[in-house]
Amino acid sequence: MLSEIEIFAIAKNIVDKAKKTAKVDQGSLKKSIAFTYVRNEVIFRELFYGQWNDNSLLEKYANSMMPNGVKWKIIYTELGGETYEVGKTRTGRNVQSKAVAQASRNSSERIRKLISLVRANRKKDEENSDKEAK
């Protein structure tokens, strides 16, 4: 098993190589490529611009250079704030998931109606209390 220092060095090397292959867009892409090592898992981060498909070769380098037995993932963040995760588990299984930026987008119609009803009743209560105060 590798030590934390060795895993940290490998992750730093992956980030450095990915920054060299990043497409230049006023430097924000290169600045966004980074990693953290938390609880035996390496988390890489990168801004994602959909029009270029591959912004840098971060995913390729992570697949080829990260040793087996080390859990890692890449979190791509789009400009709108939505995230997309790619990674590998300790057993070598590939993982992909698309996170939802706001839960309200997935809320059902009944919940939306309930929220609007509560807001309408709150407005009526405020109007009635203003009339009573006068």
The answer on 63 and 107 residing in a single domain is no
Domain coverage including residue 112 = 102-134
Same domain for 24 and 63, yes or no, is yes
- Residue 35 pLDDT > 60: yes
Question: What are the tens digits of pLDDT across the range 100-113?
Answer: 434 444 556 777 77
> What global pTM score does this model have?
0.64
Same domain assignment for residues 79 and 111? no
| CB atoms near residue 7 (< 10 Å) | 20
Average pLDDT over residues 79-83: 72
Q: What is the pLDDT of residues 49-66, one digit of tens each?
A: 655 555 788 888 998 999
58 close to 11: Cβ distance less than 8 angstroms: no
CATH number for 75: 3.30.300
Q: Are residues 75 and 85 in the same domain?
A: yes
- Element containing residue 78 per DSSP (H, E): strand 71-78
From the CB of residue 124, how many other CB atoms can be counted at a distance below 10 Å?
Answer: 10
Instruction: Indicate whether 83 and 116 sit together in one domain.
Output: no
How many Cβ atoms sit within 10 Å of the Cβ of residue 60?
14
Is the same domain home to 13 and 67? yes
